[in-house]
């Protein structure tokens, strides 16, 4: 037998019933064996063309199939659900395919339900898997990142400013709560560079002041990034000071 058979470590049975995991999938086999007469009955009912008989056989086979799938899944409460499904299916089959009176159908359905409850009570079941985690919200900086990537692959005269704005964007990404001057520099810089890049791509002759403007923008972006880092450094210094004072008060240092 393959290692995934007997040596499975996460199967519902393993370690409790001392049985391999694949055994769980065979829990419903007795139901299938008992339900074998429904198979020829179903085909004969098809030949007869009687809707009641066909419906009754389908109810029985569906009840048994659903119960088997619940038993094979073996999640918490599945054995009880399987019993209910089986009882309903057998009751309907007894009335429609077996031709019993309603009370007889109810009794046979209850027998099937009780039998499943007795046979499968106490079996090992696993907890249902946790619900899937919700998808993370889209990053608000993603559009800016895409625009900056387009600028970087655009006119090389705008590249220095685009690079510095990229650095500022990285700083902002690390501090999503940061707003104010840095974000304004980023928005204004990207908007302006996009417009300039558009004109340049349409063949405009750049004015002499363009390199100065690009340098100014790069410097402003660099300064904003440094300010963000400086604010973090300042906050850290305050934390260190507070902790030192606390330790001093407690007499630890």
Partner 1 sequence: MNRNPPSVTLSAPVRRIAGFALLAAGIGFTGLMSFVHVLVELFD
Residue ranges in contact with partner 1 by CB under 8 A: 12, 16, 30-31, 34-38, 40-41, 44-45, 47-48, 50, 53, 56-57, 60, 64, 76-77, 79-80, 86, 90, 93-94, 97-100, 108-127
Measured from the CB atom, the residue of 106 and 173 that comes closer to partner 1 is: 106
Mapped onto helix, strand or coil, the DSSP state of residue 75 is: strand
Residue 5 C-beta: closest distance to partner 1, Å: 19
Please write down the HEC assignment for all residues of 154-180.
Answer: CCHHHHHHHHHHHHHHHHHHHCCCCCC
As a whole number of angstroms, the distance between CA 129 and CA 247 comes to 46
Contact 94, 109 (CB under 8 A): yes
Of the two residues 116 and 225, which places its CB atom closer to partner 1 in the complex? 116
d(CA 249, CA 253): 9
Q: How many Cβ atoms are within 10 Å of 150's Cβ, its own excluded?
A: 14
What minimum distance in Å lies between the beta carbon of 115 and partner 1? 3
Residue 126 CB, nearest approach to partner 1 (Å)? 5
Nearest to 211 by CA among 203, 221, 223, 219: 219
Min CB(247)–partner 1 separation in Å: 47
> What is the nearest approach in angstroms of partner 1 to the Cβ of residue 121?
4
Select 80 or 183, whichever has its Cβ closest to partner 1.
80
- The two three-digit tokens of residue 5, written as one number: 């058979």
Toward partner 1, which CB reaches closer, 127 or 135? 127
Q: What is the C-alpha separation between 184 and 196, in angstroms, rounded?
A: 18
- Residue placing its CB nearer to partner 1 in the complex, 119 or 178: 119
Q: How far is the CB of 2 from partner 1 (least distance, A)?
A: 22
Decide whether 106 or 141 has the Cβ nearer to partner 1. 106
User: Considering only CA atoms, which of 90, 62, 78, 91 is closest in space to residue 117?
Assistant: 78
Q: Give the DSSP per-residue string, 14-59.
A: TTTTS--GGGGGGTTHHHHHHTTTHHHHHHHHHHHT-HHHHHHHHH
25 vs 160, beta carbon nearer partner 1: 25
Question: For residues 17 and 58, what is the distance between their CA atoms, to the nearest angstrom?
Answer: 34
Q: Tell the smallest beta-carbon distance from residue 109 to partner 1 (Å).
A: 7
């Amino acid at each position: 037998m393959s290692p995934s058979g007997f040596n499975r470590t996460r199967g519902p049975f393993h370690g409790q019933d001392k049985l391999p995991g694949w055994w769980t999938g065979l829990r419903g086999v007795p139901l299938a064996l008992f339900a074998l007469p429904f198979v020829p009955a179903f085909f004969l009912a098809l030949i007869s063309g009687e809707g009641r008989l066909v419906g009754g056989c389908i109810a029985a086979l569906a009840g048994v199939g659903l119960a088997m799938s619940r038993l094979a899944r073996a999640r918490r409460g599945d054995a009880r659900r399987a019993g209910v499904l089986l009882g309903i299916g057998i009751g309907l089959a007894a009335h429609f395919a077996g031709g019993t009176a309603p009370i007889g159908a109810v009794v046979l359905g209850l027998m099937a339900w009780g039998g499943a409850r007795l046979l499968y009570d106490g079996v090992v079941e696993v907890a249902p898997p946790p619900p899937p985690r919700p998808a993370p919200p889209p990053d608000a900086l993603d559009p800016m990142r895409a625009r900056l990537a387009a600028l970087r692959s655009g006119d090389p005269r705008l590249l220095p400013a685009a690079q510095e704005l990229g650095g500022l964007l990285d700083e902002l990404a690390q501090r999503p709560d940061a707003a104010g001057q840095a974000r304004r520099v980023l928005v204004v810089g990207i908007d302006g560079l996009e417009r300039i890049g558009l004109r340049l791509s349409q063949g405009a002759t750049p004015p002499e002041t363009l390199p100065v403007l690009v340098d100014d923008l790069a410097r402003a972006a660099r300064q904003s990034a440094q300010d963000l880092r400086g604010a973090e450094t300042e906050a850290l210094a305050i934390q260190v000071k507070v902790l030192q004072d606390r330790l001093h008060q407690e007499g630890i240092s």
